[in-house]
Structure 1
């Protein structure tokens, strides 16, 4: 396969953004539900749960809704500036950081400095640990995959141009990409 970049199609951008925002909000909602459950157990033992839980739950719901709505713009901005490359020798995900909006540039720099999260991912095909083709994406992990910060994992969404060409290329080279069924 020649080295051509694959970007998310403009007409598919909304679908991708909605799916990713929903995935993120489910994760955040799960953590918030655990927090509210723990707070209920703690406040119940002091018999103040009737006073505290309604305002706390309302406040957390507003925060989660705000995060959800705000994330649409941020995810969309990153998605527009991301390019995927899949060749016989290398897999890459590159984000044009200089073209991101100011909030995303700040967040990307902070995440890299604080947590080591790299928005640009690149590794040789020889270092691939596994490739999984899902209905909405292709997930490629290398041997250095870090579950805490996501480094070493490239997720190629189905909304990119030529998704089926990339999927077919990976399927034809299943052994090389360590494709799992």
Structure 2
């Protein structure tokens, strides 16, 4: 009888530990947010941000958690120095006044056991708007290099840049922008 009680207690404690929220820190070397837009209808232009930080908290058993991403707007990279400076000016990101872009959420949506979307608030140039990131992929597993658990995802959303006071040259340069956030995070 004592063995059954001990086993039941151990199993109960193990399930509580399994259900605990887990904190993951974003790996900045594998998290490079990018954005794309139509340039006069000629082509789709693609640029990225080179510096990102933040945390992701997941409680997969309870199907909840939070996301806190900080993008260094001064790290915008178009691949062309003069155009990069142009995007950092007041008409666009205005990085002198607004050096960071943030996405914060505590509303994770699951389909079965898999994280499928994140409803949150995106803040650019001091303007905050609700945005849903749709996950095109999501995977958690032991990381083969760092020997810790890790999670990764690729999330996308469409926004209007005019909603964030960046509407210069609309409609010639498209107002709609596709955001893509490939993210990898290591469990702490």
- Bigger share in helix: 1
Give the TM-score band, short-chain normalised: 0.3 to 0.5
TM-score, length-scaled by structure 1: 0.33
TM-score, length-scaled by structure 2: 0.32
